[in-house]
Amino acid sequence: MVEMAHIVKRFGQPPAAAAVDGVSLAIRERETYVLVGESGSGKSTLARILVGLERPSEGEVRWFPPQPGSAFAAHGHGKGGVPSSPVQMVFQNPDRSLNPYWRVQNIIAEPLVLQGMARREAYALAGGLLEQVRLPRGLLLRRPSECSGGQKQRIAVARALALRPRLLVADEMTSALDPATEADMMQLLMDLQWDSGMSILFITHRLDAVHGFADRMGVMRQGRIVEEGEAASLLRQPSTAYAKALLAACQYT
Ligand SMILES: Nc1ncnc2c1ncn2[C@@H]1O[C@H](COP(=O)(O)OP(=O)(O)OP(=O)(O)O)[C@@H](O)[C@H]1O
């Protein structure tokens, strides 16, 4: 569905080390791809290139079928005239990604309004989106500070779902949650994927949370994918010392 071909990203002039150093990665329809690697290995930079927030120094992102304009541009109006976008991202820290002055209703409706939908119509859809992420409509009039960390991340997911993306990119979105809330969130993502057929790119520095969740995995180190494969076998039998060490670190924390 989307393919990243030979992506390089340098933030300084050469010989500065590349944050992403020649990565090729494809994400298929309906699959959950987990990208794992230590802090600074280039995961977020790669994700930002995929969603169009950052331009690669080299290489390209190809969508099948091709998307007109940038990845973030709406690419059409689907059933019922609801605007859509091929890819949406959920970030680690909802306190930075959700406007603290807005009510949940405005936050969820905003992407629809930005794509030209009437505010009243967008608000009417916000309640249904909250229910999709298993939150009560009663939260619509609250502000983020009146919600728990897990609820805020669900609100961020509801906002991302508003444009019915084909791909949801989740960058460390469960890393600040306690283990039980994290497990609930991952179950929710699996349910949403089942219902909508979207693909998920899930980025994490921890391997322990991804058992039973990932279809395929890539292990990133110093800007490169050093190992990639079907998740179950990679977790059972990692072939690089680096992946083994990541796995071992998780088993003792
Ligand atoms: N805007 C930027 N300007 C300069 N350097 C950057 C910028 N963004 C990222 N980098 C550098 O690129 C490298 C990769 O960073 P990136 O955030 O992609 O890693 P990561 O694997 O996502 O780490 P983390 O898990 O800590 O978020 C790091 O060395 C980082 O300092």
Residue 160 maps to which CATH number? 3.40.50.300
What is the tens place of the pLDDT at every residue in 213-225?
Answer: 999 999 999 999 9
Locate the ligand 1 atom nearest the alpha carbon of residue 37 and give its number.
Answer: 21
Locate the ligand 1 atom nearest the alpha carbon of residue 17 and give its number.
Answer: 29
In angstroms, the CA 148 to CA 146 distance is 7
154 lines ligand 1 (CB under 6 A): no
- The answer on pLDDT for 75 being more than 90 is no
Q: What pLDDT was estimated at residue 130?
A: 95
What is the tens place of the pLDDT at every residue in 15-64?
Answer: 788 999 999 999 999 999 999 998 899 999 999 999 999 999 999 999 98
CA of 55 to the centre of ligand 1 (A): 14
32 lines ligand 1 (CB under 6 A): no
Q: Tell the residue nearest (CA) to atom 12 of ligand 1.
A: 19
In angstroms, the CA 77 to CA 114 distance is 13
CA proximity to 170, closest of 75, 32, 59, 53: 32
In angstroms, the CA 40 to CA 222 distance is 7
Rounded to whole angstroms, the maximal C-alpha distance in the chain is: 55
Q: How many domains does the chain have?
A: 1
Contacts of 139 (CB under 8 A, 6+ apart): 104, 130, 147, 151, 155
Model ipTM value: 0.93
Q: Does residue 150 contact residue 88 with C-beta atoms inside 8 Å?
A: no
Q: Does residue 174 contact residue 153 with C-beta atoms inside 8 Å?
A: yes
Contacts of 248 (CB under 8 A, 6+ apart): none
Q: What pLDDT was estimated at residue 21?
A: 94
What is the tens place of the pLDDT at every residue in 179-200?
Answer: 888 888 899 999 999 999 999 9
Q: Percentage of the chain surpassing pLDDT 90?
A: 66
Locus of tokens 């969130």: 185
92 lines ligand 1 (CB under 6 A): no
Burial group, residue 118, by CB count within 10 angstroms (0-12, 13-18, 19+): exposed
Q: What pLDDT was estimated at residue 68?
A: 58
What is the tens place of the pLDDT at every residue in 110-150?
Answer: 999 999 999 999 999 999 999 999 999 999 999 999 999 99
Q: Does residue 153 contact residue 170 with C-beta atoms inside 8 Å?
A: no
37 lines ligand 1 (CB under 6 A): yes
Locate the ligand 1 atom nearest the alpha carbon of residue 20 and give its number.
Answer: 14
Three-class SS state of 197: coil
Q: What pLDDT was estimated at residue 178?
A: 87
Q: Report, as an integer, the average pLDDT of 146-156.
A: 93
Three-class SS state of 89: strand
Q: What pLDDT was estimated at residue 92?
A: 87
Q: What pLDDT was estimated at residue 73?
A: 43
CA of 224 to the centre of ligand 1 (A): 13
Q: What is the DSSP letter of 41?
A: S
Q: Tell the residue nearest (CA) to atom 26 of ligand 1.
A: 39
Q: Which one has a higher pLDDT value, 250 or 146?
A: 146
Q: Report, as an integer, the average pLDDT of 64-92.
A: 68
Q: What pLDDT was estimated at residue 74?
A: 42
Q: Which domain holds residue 35?
A: 2-251
In angstroms, the CA 103 to CA 138 distance is 11
